[in-house]
Structure 1
Amino acid sequence: MRLDSIKTFIASRLSLIRQHLRRPTRREVVLAVAAIPALVLLYILLLIPFTPGISDIRKAKSEQPAQVLSADGKEIAVYRWANRDWVKLSEISPNVVDALIATEDHRFYQHHGLDWRRTASAALHTFSGDRQGGSTLTQQLARNRYPDEIGRAPTLTRKLKEAITALKIEALYSKDEILETYLNTVPFLYNAFGIEMAARTYFDKSADKLDVLEAATLIGMLKGNSYYNPVLNPERALDRRNTVLAQMVKRGKLDPARFETLKKRPLRIDFERQIEAPGPAPHFAQQLRKWLITWADRNDYNLYTDGLVIHTTIDSRLQTMATQALTRQGNQLQSIANAAWAPRAGWSESRGLVQAFVRETPEFRAAVAGGQSEEDALKRLMADRPFMQALREQKTRVQAGFMAMDPTTGEIKAWVGSRDFTVDAFDHVAQARRQPGSTFKPFVYGAAFARGQSPDETFIDQPVEIKLAGGEIWRPTDESPPTGRALSLRDGLVYSKNTITAQLVQTIGADRVAQLARAMGVRDSKLEAVPSLALGTSPVTLKEMVSAYGTIANGGQYLAPTMVTRIEDQQGNVLAQFRDPSPQRALSTSANETLVDVMRDVIDRGTGTAIRTRFGIRADVAGKTGTTQDNADGWFILMHPQLVAGAWVGFNDSRVTLRSDYWGQGAHSALPIVGDFYQRALRARIIDPRVRFAESNEKTWYSAITDQIKGWYQKLFGAGKKEDAAPVPRPAPRRPALPETDNDALPPASASAAIADGGMALDPGEVVEATPPSSSASAPAAPAAPTAPAIPASAPSVPVVSPVPPVAPSVAGEPAQSDAAPATAH
């Protein structure tokens, strides 16, 4: 009963309202009409708190970009939000101001932010189907400066916010201040913000030198930057420029007779994209920016406006030395590559590879997408000489990367990511992952020494077969055939013997090697725990490898590489101080000392002797060379107690090589960069040549006796000892006898069988030839090579160089092997 009464009451009230709507009284009509503006006014009042504050519309003028300094106080980078150079209104050509006001807002000096006449006219035109803009310059400035707060959608709310903000701006700033801010913040494409950068970009002059035609061209772009782009759409830009000139005539800013002359003239664009100088360490600065953006966001700072001063670990002197060393060697290798890949040499001889390059280009894909057959597209592009020349230059450009760090602090001291940042911004230090080849072997020997194995322990230099999980057989080989002689672990690493390393990894396990490599610094790249890992088949970055070698130089303790020491504000107040990272023990002290000692021998009498003979470095240093399959990658890393540095050399496309077994190996491609760098650093006394690697004094009074007993034991029983951890690899079947060859083509073998060029001994664990190839006319001949220092009589002999039997290509980081099975478990 109660529900029925409620329904009756509601129905009666609705009926009464309908009667009033059909026949409203005069009072009700007046109230209804008055309610509309009242509601609009109320809505505007409610919107005011949601419009941007405008305490300083010229904030862009006061924005202070972050400044990046080296450890020795030199500027190495500046982080700007935009490519802008603020100029005063008095430093802008009057032609620009006249063109702007005549075209965009001819009543600019009469209104107070909103031009009601223009707004009404624009509304009428829009309702009639001819949409026009009615915004004043102040409204445009509000929209440009506060796009997020005002919004971008074409709604009534956005227009009201824009109008409110414009009124705020006019209340606080003079007309000249508004004009100056507008002209310094408006975008002009190609990362050019403001009239000054626009003038430099399109006319190669400053804003105060713009004539009336140039000013009209730039102001004409404001209606639609892309549509009226004078570079890509010159006809539209010319028409729009003349429209601006006509508006200047209409508003009394240009003589009509002069207009008739000017409108017939061409654009005469002098376009040059304005690019900031890359600085002395551009790749380092690029990587640092990524980290700083995260830090600034987390700590409520703006990297581009708050004037932060970032103090980095880079030493500007070492950075200069590294850049110069890499540039010198890169240019020399480029001349070799140019000869090797000349149009009538390697380029024409590698037709299949070149066709593959063409098929991978955007031009080929676009042609096929446009309806051409693949055969026709390939034929057309192969016949396009400028296209093919550009492709050849791109593919055969030698690249390199270099990094140096202080192993005792983890501080990065030099970082060169490519030969030229402006040509190739790709970072070959932190971004490129390449197979490290024999530079990975120290992790194998370090793992062995950590298990208590001695560097004097021997393995037989014999053919090796290792059965993989999938039933495949891995047969690693060296440049020269096995000799069947006993070879110590020391000489296995010194002369980079793959057969010895392969046997060693089987006794200790690939998992243990991968675990040690990760503990020492190879922490980002995936390591495949398969036997071939020992020869460097898992791609890694140069940064990881230098970091891992830094662990060796730091007594087996890992320190994460660091880039920043502290961050300050403009007044010098320290906002953040970064302490040295805590060291993490990765390798025992005794095992690490043994590894360092063995790696010293790599420099003294192994594959890195050029450090001594060519560069004259007498400091206590240790290191390792590395070369991968077909000489696609050349590596060298050198350790000094105060500095560790490494270099990689190759091509962006690993299918391209220097086509020379001599120049392609790390001892000849990457080592000279590091040697040059250290030579200069030592001469400048930036590192001390007298400092030696620390050696712990852990021996007791009975150590000599136990060492002697251990030596006797190994002599008596070591040769016949079987490893409990894993079976000794069984010898592979003997290869058939080799046909006779011209032995005069080979150099005489020394006691060590190490072939040197100016002291640069070849790495038997890397795919090399005994002499620089003479069959290729494109590759320069190597200089005459003296024999490397002989191994002492007490050391096991190393196989002499002898002709290599014909074998199948190998995986990267290993010599060729038999066709019977793949080289790796990948």
Structure 2
Amino acid sequence: MKSRQEQLKDKITAINIKALYRKFSSKLSLSRAKNWWDRQSLQSLIAWSLGTLLLGVVLFSTTLIFLVWKGFFGPLPTYAQLANIQNNQASEIYDARGISIGKYYIENRINADSSELPAHLIKSLVATEDARFFEHGGIDIKSLGRVLIKSILLSQERSGGGSTISQQLAKNLYPRKEYAFFSIVISKLKEMLIARRLEKVFEKDQILRMYLNTVPFEGNAFGVKIASQRFFDKSLDQLDVGEAAVLIGMLKATSYYNPVRYPERAKERRNTVLNQMVKFGYLSADSAQTLINQDIKSNYQPESHDLGLATYFRAHLRAEVDEKLKAIQKPDGTTYNLYTDGLKVYTSIDATMQRYAEEVVRAHLKSLQKTFLKEWKGEEPWFTKDLREKQIKNSARYRHLEAQGFSEEEIRKTFDTPVKMVIFDWDAGEKEVEMTPLDSIRYYLTLLRAGMLVVEPGSGVVRAWVGGIDHRFIQYDHVKSKRQIGSIMKPIVYAAAIRDGIQPCEYFENRLVSYPEYKNWEPRNSDEFYGGYFSMEGALTNSVNTVAVETALEVGIEPIRQLAIEMGIDENLPGEPAIALGAVDASLWQMARVYATLANEGVRPVLSFLDRIETADGQVLVRPEKKTDVNKRILNRDEAATLTHFLQSVVDSGTARRLRYEYNLNGAIAGKTGTTQNQSDGWFMGYTPGLLAGVWVGAEIPAVHFKTTHNGQGANTALPIWGLFMQRVQKNKRTSRYMQGSFQKPVDTLLALLDCPHYLPELPEFFDSILDVEQLLEFSQVAAEIDTSELKDILRKSPRKDSETLSEYSQRIREKNEKILEKRERKKKRKKFFDKIFGREQ
């Protein structure tokens, strides 16, 4: 055996031999390579280099394609998944005639059917985006080279048209993701593979339809159907060739080619599309030139949950629909989603009447706001220290800063620091200003608000719902909010009296009374007129508070409370006589039920607004039952007819008479004005035989109110909105039917009981002679000839003298009225004369 030293020597020798061999081999390989290289021409070397590079690219691409196909970068959709693909669709809300009034959505998209897509829209798309669309199978080989150069080598996101429509559809359906490397390349490969599968699953026309339904536009809008409505206010079938070219041109860069913001850019791009159509034979050169010479006439219709028609109604409807959908499952077991499943929600709203209501509310309040601010002249007596603190701490800004851990001192400082903000504006709708958050609070406190609800009293269906002035800035819905109702409570008091057997012509003394049992409460009339006697109709016509309270005490508070609840006020009502004057909090919705009961001849209808909910393909999911069995008779026909008769008098000669002489509304109208303490709330509830409308006007809180009764009373704040609305309803041929017809008249025996003067200066207990009776009748006749408001003013200024007989007093009252009328007529003539001289005639 070899020694240990010999073995070590052998190992070293072996290692040296291997090293020498490697060195020799390396030199030999390099020598051969060098010799081979030296023997090649330059052209051969270039060819060899390119071939090697190409082989590398092919191997790399093949490997990458294989990895993409196998789902290494995320699974590709299967054929079955593609066949059942669905994109998020907005659910659409329709009025009673099938007119769209809004949507619920995460992505604002309404899919168009193939039949809705005009041929020139398809042609402009194909000519511009994919001229060989009908020839390839999802991948256009001729364009692939350009894509490889621009996208792969230059890493440019926009590849200048290399993607086919099918590939673009794949991109829309499956948005691109970021990867650790080669993100654009991987995304392009995925789109190609998906495009191939799409072409095998769908026909060409289906791919075109799907693509046009998924293309994104600005403002979270998707699809050409939405774009057509937004930029031109047209349905797809109404688009002309030029407008279709604008939309297709926008696909390259929707913001850059926006026709509203950048009309010249959009025009240039449109013209490119038109030229492409000429190039591929889809449009004649002459037709294209005619269109090219035209400017773009867009009609932009912005859209969001807070814009458009019936925003407050849509917000309320959403909650109710969501609740109903919870109980319904899809075939796959999941529940329906109002924001993504493209449902169709049909309502009772009349879009025309809704638009009228919103427009008149805005127009009147804009004018009324000026009166309010002028009246106070910068004073803010309501903005006390306590209110200031309450408003600050209830603000979203305060809660947000507090949650972030800011100190009280830091938060207070932010409220006194001016910042830029967008606020509501009566003229522009909104405006950007710089003000302190505290001034913003003060600004919104003084903004007047309104609510309006329009229903058919017979069926109970809602035709219009206005919850406020602008849902973007103020979400509080004044159809549902509760405020004191004032004198619109009085018909319930007199209905309870009629129910109790009190005769319509029973008279109540108009006197100022203090009630010790109610903490010396002393109800006063708004005009401070006292004396004489009023019938119930006369007291309601002139909204006499003292008589309403006396009537309530005679009937009893509890019967009035119970009747109010039965008619629709489902809140806790006070058990005090102040209930007669409307010291009750109720909503416009509740008061609509009350007055609908009167208008519906004593039967309280169930108010409703949801007709049905359908799937996108028309399957009915929800159809609420007509609740006729729930409709409840509250008053008998004679009682209801009596109250309607009273309320007609309010319109014809009482606090609502402006409807006749100022708004020129004819026909049968019944209604009641209402004003609360300090003019904090103005109300008007009015109805015709076919339509009921209620209006409330006020500020955010009752502490903010008008300074004077003249400006703040319901007859000046709420009634004009009703009058302006009904004017439009009356002028519209379709809706004018609501202003026609007549109320159910009381029976003849009841009419006889209603035939008595509204007011008597005195109420003798017996008559000394026939002459006394004749004189009383003469006075009643004179009083009936004079407008009730004028009569009250005359009686106040010209009281009866002690030595004057009733007949003499009647004659003096008549002469006074004639002088007033003559003076008014002279004034009219003078105005007409000077208007003519100064050219002010209309």
Q: Which stretch has the larger CA shift, 578-587 or 347-356?
A: 347-356
Match of 2:448 in 1: 398
2:547 counterpart of 1:500:
yes
Tell me the TM-score normalised to structure 1 length: 0.56
CA pair 520-54 structure 1, distance change in 2 beyond 3 A: farther
Amino acid of the residue matched to residue 450 of structure 2? A
Is 2:726 the counterpart of 1:678? Answer: yes
**Gap change, CA 1:591 and 1:312, over 3 Å in 2:** same
Q: For residue 293 of structure 1, what is the aligned residue in structure 2?
A: 322
CA-CA distance at 1:345 after TM superposition: 3.8
Q: Does 1:309 align with 2:344?
A: yes
Matches for 1:160-171 after TM superposition, within 5 Å: none
- Residue in 2 that maps onto 1:320: 355
Change (3 A) 1:584 1:718: farther
Matched with 2:466 is 416
Q: Any idea what SS the aligned residue of 2:709 has?
A: coil
Give me the CA root mean square deviation: 5.4
Deviation of 1:695 (Å): 2.8
For the pair 1:103 / 2:179, whether they are aligned, the reply is: yes
- Give the drift of 1:61: 3.9
Q: Which residue of 2 aligns with 1:528?
A: 574
Give the whole-Å Cα distance in 1 for the aligned partners of 2:617 and 2:402: 60
Q: CA deviation at 1:463?
A: 2.7
Counterpart of 2:577 in structure 1: which amino acid? Answer: P
- Give the structure-2-normalised TM-score: 0.55
In 2, Cα distance between equivalents of 1:522 and 1:489 = 23
Q: Following TM superposition, by how much is the alpha carbon of 1:399 offset from its aligned partner in structure 2, in angstroms?
A: 0.7
Find out whether 1:278 has 2:307 as its counterpart: yes
The answer on 1:594 being equivalent to 2:642 is: yes
1:475 and 2:522 matched: yes
**Aligned residue for 1:518?**
565
CA contact (8 A) 2:88 2:107 kept: no
Q: Deviations over 1:588-633 (max 9, x none)?
A: 1111111111111111111111011111112111100011111111
Kept in 2: contact 1:333–1:669 (CA 8 A): yes
Give the corresponding residue for 2:694: 646
Q: In the TM superposition, what is the alpha-carbon distance from 1:510 to its structure 2 partner?
A: 2.2
State the identity as a percent: 27
Given that 1:602 and 1:622 are in contact with CA atoms closer than 8 Å, whether structure 2 keeps it comes out as yes
What's the counterpart of residue 777 of structure 1? none
Seen in structure 2, the aligned counterparts of structure 1 residues 386 and 515 have a Cα distance that, compared at 3 Å, is same
CA distance in 1, matches of 2:708, 2:78: 67
What is the Cα deviation at residue 107 of structure 1?
7.8
8 A contact 2:89–2:107 mirrored in 1? no
Letter in structure 2 aligned against 1:463: L
SS at match of 1:663: helix
Distance in 1 of aligned mates of 2:488 and 2:89: 45
Are the aligned partners of 2:512 and 2:530 in contact in 1 as well (CA < 8 Å)?
Answer: no
Give 2:477's aligned amino acid.
D
User: CA offset at residue 389 of structure 1?
Assistant: 3.4
Structure-2 residue corresponding to 1:218: none
* Structure 2 residue aligned with 1:738: none
Displacement of 1:639 in angstroms is 1.0
Aligned equivalents of 1:396, 1:413: Cα separation in 2:
30
Measure how far apart 1:542 and its partner are. Answer: 0.6
**How many pairs are equivalent?**
555
Aligned to 2:674, the other structure's residue is in SS state strand
CA offsets 1:496-518 (integer angstroms, 9 cap, x no match): 11111111112222222122122
**1:440 corresponding residue in structure 2:** 489
Q: Deviations over 1:257-286 (max 9, x none)?
A: xxxxxxxxxxxxxxxx98456332122222
Q: Does 1:490 align with 2:501?
A: no
Of 673, 676, 682, 1:634 maps to 682
2:692 is paired with a residue of what secondary structure?
A: strand
Cα separation, partners in 2 of 1:211 and 1:626, compared to 1, 3 Å: closer
Show the 5 A alignment for 1:118-267. Answer: 208-209=252-253
Name the SS of the counterpart of 2:319 in structure 1. Answer: helix
Q: Which secondary structure does the structure 2 equivalent of 1:526 belong to?
A: coil
2:766, 2:614 → 1: CA distance?
Answer: 61
Q: 2:628 aligns with which of 554, 565, 581?
A: 581
* Partner SS for 1:444: helix
User: What secondary structure is seen at the aligned counterpart in 2 of 1:493?
Assistant: helix
Deviation at 1:577, TM superposition (A): 6.3
Letter of the aligned partner of 1:427 in structure 2?
Answer: D
CA distance in structure 2 between the partners assigned to 1:460 and 1:635 by the alignment: 26
Residues 27-79 of structure 1: CA distance to partner in whole angstroms, max 9, x if unpaired? xxxxxxxxxxxxxxxxxxxxxxxxx9995479774444332211122111222
2:603 corresponds in structure 1 to: 557
Go from structure 1 to structure 2 and tell me whether the alpha carbon gap of 1:315 and 1:351 turns closer, same or farther (over 3 Å shift): same
Equivalent-residue separation in structure 2 for 1:564 and 1:706 (angstroms): 41
How far apart are the structure 1 equivalents of 2:389 and 2:726?
Answer: 42
User: Partners in 1 of 2:606 and 2:305 — Cα distance?
Assistant: 31
Provide, for residues 512-564 of structure 1, a one-character-per-residue CA deviation record: whole Å limited to 9, x for no partner: 212212222223x3323332222112211111111211110010101111112
Conservation of the 8 A alpha-carbon contact between 1:458 and 1:486: yes
Q: Output one character per residue of 1:172-230: Cα deviation in whole Å (capped at 9) or x when no partner.
A: 99xxx9xxx9xx99x9xx98999x99xx9xxxx97743999xxxxxxxxxxxxxxxxxx
Partner residue in 2 for 1:463: 512
- Rg comparison, structure with higher value: 2
1:581, CA displacement in angstroms?
A: 3.0
Q: CA deviation at 1:294?
A: 2.1
Choose between structure 1 and 2 for higher RCO, CA contacts under 8 A separated by at least 6 residues.
1
Counterpart secondary structure, 2:437: helix
Q: Deviations for 1:302-352, whole angstroms, at most 9, x for unmatched residues?
A: 23454433322111221121111111101111222343456x444799777
Partner SS, residue 628 of structure 2:
coil
CA distance in 1, matches of 2:510, 2:341: 64
Look up the equivalent residue of 2:93 and give its one-letter code.
V
Mark the CA change 1:646 to 1:665 in structure 2 (over 3 Å): closer, same or farther. Answer: same
| SS of the residue 1:638 aligns to | strand
Whichever residue aligns with residue 69 of structure 1, its letter is: Y
Secondary structure, in 3 states, of the residue corresponding to 2:102?
Answer: strand
Distance 1:282 1:107, change over 3 A: closer
Shift in alpha-carbon separation, 1:388–1:81, aligned structure 2, 3 A:
closer
Uncovered stretches (5+) of structure 2, i.e. residues with no partner: 1-76, 113-124, 131-156, 161-167, 231-248, 257-301, 331-335, 419-434, 757-762, 768-782, 798-808, 818-842
Q: Please report how far the alpha carbon of residue 663 of structure 1 lies from its aligned counterpart in structure 2 after TM superposition.
A: 1.6
Q: Residue 387 of structure 1 aligns with which residue?
A: 437
1:54–1:451 distance in 2 versus 1, CA, 3 Å: farther
Distance 1:211 1:501 in 2: 64
SS in 2 for 1:560: coil
Distance 2:475 2:599 in 1: 30
Paired position in structure 1 for 2:656: 608
CA distance in 1, matches of 2:748, 2:627: 27
Structure-1 separation of matches of 2:549 and 2:753: 33
Contact 2:729 2:736 in 1 (8 A): yes
- Between the aligned partners of 2:178 and 2:687, the Cα distance in structure 1 is 68
* Cα displacement (A) at 1:392: 2.6
Instruction: Please tell me whether the aligned partners of residues 632 and 650 of structure 1 are also in contact (alpha carbons under 8 angstroms).
Output: yes
Aligned to 1:428: 478
Amino acid at match of 1:288: L
